[in-house]
Amino acid sequence: MPERRLRSELHRQGLRFRVDHPINASGLRVRPDVVFTARRVAVFVDGCFWHGCPQHGSFPKANADYWVPKLLRNAERDREIDARLHRAGWQVVRVWEHEDPTAAVERILDVIASAGVN
CB of 52 to Zn ion, least distance (A): 9
CB of 99 to Zn ion, least distance (A): 8
Out of 1, 15, 23, 53, the only residue in the binding site for Zn ion (CB under 5 A) is 53
Nearest to 23 by CA among 95, 72, 92, 115: 92
CB of 11 to Zn ion, least distance (A): 24
| Whole-angstrom distance, CA of residue 57 vs CA of residue 15 | 31
What would you report as the CA-atom Rg of the chain, rounded to the nearest whole angstrom? 15
Identify residues 57-116 at the interface with Zn ion (CB under 5 A): 96, 98
The span of 10-18, 47-55, 68-76, 85-93 binding Zn ion (CB under 5 A) equals 47-55
Nearest to 33 by CA among 111, 84, 98, 92: 92
